Amino acid sequence: MDEKKVMLSGIQPSGELHLGNYLGAIKNWGARAEEFDCYYFMADLHTLTVRQVPAELRRHTLEQLAIYIACGLDPEKNTLFIQSHVPQHAELGWVLNCYTMFGELSRMTQFKDKSAKHAENINGGLFTYPSLMAADILLYQPDFVPVGEDQKQHVELTRDVAQRFNNLYGETFKIPEPYIPKTGARIMSLNAPDSKMSKSIPEGCVFLMDKPEDIQRKFKRAITDSDTEHCVRYDPQTKPGVANLMSIYAACTGRSFAEIETEFDGQGYGAFKPAVGDAVIEMLRPIREEAQRILADKAYLEQVYRDGAQRAGYVANKTLRKVYKKVGLVAR
């Protein structure tokens, strides 16, 4: 039997996972394990480029892991781990710093964006974190890295650095391909439908661990449009708020836009918005309850991240030893 192709993905636990993360990506991840050998990690080292509240970072890291499992990422079929528990990430990150050019790092869009947002804390890690991201990827010799538009630049840099290293020292790293996943619904903010749902706009963002009453309150306050007829119709250009709510309802119920228009014909937004809220509550209920159950079982959660780090560390160490030998470091 052919070996499965390797896929790797990491998300920073700098905040809570939300409905956009779930419907846009995580919902489809569970099925990947049948086709790929998958590594998913909580990118906690990357969060340190921005000041974090230590207790919140620990809570978000464990909560993210519990939610992954609750969303169908079976720890027996996927390698789930915390980035800082596999020290080879930081070690290879330093080596790759020495093979990544200053000009390449200074051109990174996210460095410019984050520098503008955190002008009081433009630190070295913020500048060099693409080298750590390259290490995150190359340690596992993956065939594919799932990326959205905002991360394509990082995968391109990773490929350039890997190629540079290979040209100098011979075949060391597999050159990964960006994997554009089949995206789910693109979910926009409930109170700013021209922007993607984001934890930076919490009132327009539904978090996966939100209580039902908070979810319903956010949907009742969701922006629709100034249309006096209050007609539920899919028209992203003139009715972006309504179109966003219809996308969410369609993703939760499996109904088409035409069926939703028929269902709410003549009922207006007063009936439609709470119905979307109810559909989201029922879709997220089993995930929230299962995540809470997992979080309460500290021994199980610890076992998952210990096993994950051990499996990841075994693979990562093989790559790191090869790299250390190639650059001339004395073997441990």
Residues 93 and 166 in one domain: yes
Cα–Cα distance list, 313 to 63, 74, 84, 171, 318 (Å): 22, 19, 11, 21, 9
pLDDT at 306: 98
Residues 19 and 102 in one domain: yes
| Within-domain flag for 195 | no
Average pLDDT over residues 200-208: 90
| Within-domain flag for 257 | yes
pLDDT at 236: 87
Average pLDDT over residues 165-178: 95
Residues 157, 110: Cα–Cα separation, whole Å: 13
Distance of CA 21 to the CA centre of its chain: 7
Phi and psi, residue 27, nearest 5°: -55, -30
**Tens of pLDDT, residues 247-298:** 999 999 999 999 999 999 888 898 999 999 999 999 999 999 999 999 999 9
| Within-domain flag for 332 | no
Average pLDDT over residues 140-151: 82
| Within-domain flag for 264 | yes
| Within-domain flag for 190 | no
**Average of per-residue pLDDT values in the chain:** 91
pLDDT at 199: 84
Inform me whether the pLDDT recorded for 181 exceeds 90: no
Average pLDDT over residues 124-148: 91
Residues 31 and 86 in one domain: yes
Residues 283 and 301 in one domain: no
pLDDT at 228: 65
Inform me whether the pLDDT recorded for 114 exceeds 80: no
Inform me whether the pLDDT recorded for 1 exceeds 60: no
Residues 24 and 171 in one domain: yes
Q: Which of 221, 315, 325, 324 is closest to 274 using CA atoms? A: 221
Residues 116 and 162 in one domain: yes
Residues 210 and 89 in one domain: no
pLDDT at 182: 66
CATH number for the domain spanning 208: value is 1.10.240.10
**Tens of pLDDT, residues 45-60:** 999 988 999 999 999 9
Residues 28 and 98 in one domain: yes
| Within-domain flag for 258 | yes
Average pLDDT over residues 120-130: 87
Q: Provide the annotated active-site residues.
A: 114, 196, 199
Residues 17, 65: Cα–Cα separation, whole Å: 10
Could you tell me what percentage of the chain is helix, strand and coil, using 3-state DSSP and rounding each to the nearest 5?
60, 10, 35
CATH number for the domain spanning 111: value is 3.40.50.620
pLDDT band of residue 30 (cuts 50, 70, 90) is confident
pLDDT at 2: 64
Inform me whether the pLDDT recorded for 38 exceeds 90: yes
Residues 314 and 240 in one domain: no
| Within-domain flag for 191 | no
Contact assessment for residue 23 and residue 199, using Cβ atoms and an 8 Å cutoff: no
Residues 306 and 275 in one domain: no
Average pLDDT over residues 130-155: 88
User: CA-CA-CA-CA torsion for 112, 116, 120, 125, nearest 10 degrees?
Assistant: -20
Residues 192, 123: Cα–Cα separation, whole Å: 31
pLDDT at 184: 64
Strand order in the sheet with 5-11: 78-82, 36-42, 5-11, 144-146, 177-179
The total of structural domains in the chain comes to 2
Residues 152 and 255 in one domain: no
pLDDT at 180: 75
Residues 79 and 224 in one domain: no
Structural domain harbouring 252:
202-292
3-state secondary structure of 13: coil
pLDDT at 221: 93
Contact assessment for residue 194 and residue 223, using Cβ atoms and an 8 Å cutoff: no
Average pLDDT over residues 208-236: 88
